[in-house]
Amino acid sequence: MTQGAGQEPVVRTATLRDFRVPPYAQTPVPPQAPSAVPPPTPPPHAPEPTAPAPHTAVPPSHPPTPPAPPATVEPPHAPAPHQAPPHPGNAAVGDEPPEGYTPTERDLPVINRGDTVKIQTVPEARPETGEGRGPLYVVGDVHGYLDELVAALAAQGLIDADGNWAAGNARLWFLGDFTDRGPDGIGVIDLVMRLSAEAAAAGGYCKALMGNHELLLIGAKRFSDTPVNSGAGTATFQAAWLLNGGQKSDMDRLQDVHLQWMSRLDAVVEEDGHLLMHSDTTAYLDYGSTIEDVNDTITAILTRNDADECWDLFRKLTKRFAFRDEGGADAVRELLSTYGGQRIVHGHSPIPYLLGEVGTEDGEDGSGPVVNGPHVYADGLAIAMDGGVTMAGKLLVVQLPLHD
């Protein structure tokens, strides 16, 4: 497998200064200077095992490093011929966006609810070493930021200094969106696949959910420029993937084992009273009245390999903010009453947007968005886990349940 991570400058996601800009405004971002740091080499991958095997330590080729400081991004301006194309932050395919198509919507109205609660997690919490079910951890959207992921996992004691599973019987769930925007999405997938094997051998597990960017990458690989019924003109998965942060280095290194692994991911699970899903949307209800039905239906759609059907699935799971505004708590209760659990834990919508923190990628004062931990809202029934790593925020890895 060609190890081509970081061969091209990374296009980071910029944010709009003004959330009142009309929807799907396309904001160009100047290209960044290539980093002087050599590109990381992603760790070897291992397919998810069907049964625990004897533990074999596999030293990674990408040791944990502290997160790099956010790059300075100048305010958007009109692109010159040599600059990058209009930024994908609000992009849709064609002149008009399909109805409900919001893969990376940045300019929806922000309502800063007075009843939202910011909480701190307990950083000193560590995996249990006894028998039975270990502690439960969740990981927010990674989007190709492998260095930040390794550092966050190590900080929680889930991996050791060599990047190997060190959490015994702990349970670790990734909430989806492994690729796009960041430099090494395939490296992230390889790491998760390897940790899945190592965790199973140690009596725990490391699992992952389907995010909308997994659907986008699968579609771009399978259907490329095949036109799909977007609801508003011609669209293709390939164009949507490129417009929304797709990295050529990821596509060049994408293998069948990655596609098969992504295609088998569940969309919804329930763990210890937590209903885990990627997107903050009620669209999951369109695919079944039980968790098993939802997961089976989505797997069947991907198996049928119909471009229009896959596009419709992608479109629905890109919807967001269903739990944020008036009626948000009722939307959460509808999902909980249908699928079970006492709280929803999701990624997809960055916490700075849910909180109404508006600014450039690095913040108006250059400090970046302040994300101290997960965001609890919707009458305490929803927990947001996307710390906004793509906008110089924070990649969150936390233990559940949360403690105020």
How does pLDDT run across 283-330, given as a tens digit for each residue? Answer: 999 999 999 999 999 999 999 999 999 999 999 999 999 999 999 999
- Domains plus CATH for the chain? 111-363+377-400 (3.60.21.10)
The span from the first CA to the last CA of the chain, in angstroms, equals 45
Using CA atoms of 58, 134, 119, 269 in order, give the dihedral in degrees to the nearest 10. Answer: 90
Instruction: Quote the pLDDT of residue 370.
Output: 84
Q: List the structure tokens of 183.
A: 């430099």
Residue 373 near residue 128, CB atoms below 8 Å? no
Lowest model confidence (mean pLDDT) among 49-58, 62-71, 186-195, 236-245: 49-58
How does pLDDT run across 238-290, given as a tens digit for each residue? Answer: 999 999 999 999 999 999 999 999 999 999 999 999 999 999 999 999 999 99
Going across the sheet that includes 397-400, the strands are: 205-208, 171-174, 136-139, 397-400
How does pLDDT run across 89-136, given as a tens digit for each residue? Answer: 334 444 444 444 444 433 333 333 344 333 343 333 444 444 578 999
Residue of 176, 181, 174 lying closest to 145 (CA atoms): 181
Residue 404 has pLDDT above 70, yes or no: no
Residue of 389, 400, 403, 391 lying closest to 140 (CA atoms): 389
Instruction: Quote the pLDDT of residue 131.
Output: 52
